[in-house]
A and B are shown apart, each in its own frame.
Chain A
Amino acid sequence: ETGVTQTPRHLVMGMTNKKSLKCEQHLGHNAMYWYKQSAKKPLELMFVYNFKEQTENNSVPSRFSPECPNSSHLFLHLHTLQPEDSALYLCASATRLTRGGNTEAFFGQGTRLTVV
């Protein structure tokens, strides 16, 4: 148990569906991240939020839309996805990273997404 909770754990959706992934942490962290893990690829950073402000969008297609209403919650809204978007989506939180800062990110268990 890392203190970061992701729901749902598994999701199957059609290409025309709209769904949302949820991430929640009550660790007092103020940086939250979405990562994507596809088979045989690195953990790909998608979005970074620091103090509820998006500070990084790693060239993610607009069919993925993040939302961070407060520092404890992070959503990833999904719309008209493609089969190649099937992957494990991981949320992480950390105290705000600083240059040379010694902090680690805590990960949720991920949402296994399958697009059919």
Chain B
Amino acid sequence: DQQVKQNSPSLSVQEGRISILNCDYTNSMFDYFLWYKKYPAEGPTFLISISSIKDKNEDGRFTVFLNKSAKHLSLHIVPSQPGDSAVYFCAASDGNKLVFGAGTILRVKS
């Protein structure tokens, strides 16, 4: 049973445009959500997070939106840059563990 789902395996975006990565979860006990970025041959690195008491968190070019009623979150990257090309993982925490989605490969074309 996959509790965190990233239904788009890949996304291709032109440089300078917006990248939107989506994530859905099923477990209502999750109350903290994170996005990680992963380059080949490296471990995932933390990007941005959001607590369930908020619906938006912004950090520079990165914004995460949370819709609790829909159990959905998204990561917006504006403007997208070629260096953003990586695998992006959504993760959710229930206070004991972090559960990850399958990841979305983002390719930013110059």
Query: Which residues on A are within 8 Å of B, measured CB to CB?
Result: 2, 4, 6, 33, 35, 40-43, 45, 48, 50, 55-56, 90, 92, 94, 97-102, 104-110
Bound CA span A45–B93, Å: 12
Is the CB–CB distance between A50 and B96 below 8 Å? yes
Is the CB–CB distance between B97 and A48 below 8 Å? yes
Bound CA span A45–B3, Å: 12
Kindly provide the distance from the CB of B65 to the nearest chain A CB, expressed in whole angstroms: 17
Q: Name B34's contact: one of A41, A45, A90, A104 (CB within 8 Å).
A: A104
Is the CB–CB distance between B31 and A2 below 8 Å? no
Is the CB–CB distance between B46 and A97 below 8 Å? no
Quick one: closest B residue to A98, CB to CB? B95
Is the CB–CB distance between A45 and B43 below 8 Å? no
Bound CA span A98–B32, Å: 9
Contacts of A48 in B (CB 8 A): 96-97
Q: Name A108's contact: one of B43, B49, B95 (CB within 8 Å).
A: B43
Stretch of B14-22, B72-80, B99-107 on the interface side: B99-107
Is the CB–CB distance between B31 and A45 below 8 Å? no
15 contacts between A and B (CB under 8 A): A6-B43, A33-B97, A33-B98, A42-B2, A42-B103, A43-B91, A45-B98, A48-B96, A100-B51, A102-B32, A102-B49, A104-B49, A105-B91, A105-B98, A107-B43
Q: Name B99's contact: one of A45, A55, A99 (CB within 8 Å).
A: A45
Bound CA span A61–B53, Å: 37
Bound CA span A105–B34, Å: 9
Kindly provide the distance from the CB of B80 to the nearest chain A CB, expressed in whole angstroms: 23
Quick one: closest A residue to B44, CB to CB? A107
Kindly provide the distance from the CB of B11 to the nearest chain A CB, expressed in whole angstroms: 16
Bound CA span A101–B98, Å: 12
Residue among A4, A45, A92, A104 facing the most chain B CB atoms (10 A cut-off): A104
Is the CB–CB distance between A42 and B102 below 8 Å? yes
Is the CB–CB distance between A109 and B42 below 8 Å? yes
Quick one: closest A residue to B53, CB to CB? A100
Q: Name B43's contact: one of A55, A56, A90, A102 (CB within 8 Å).
A: A90
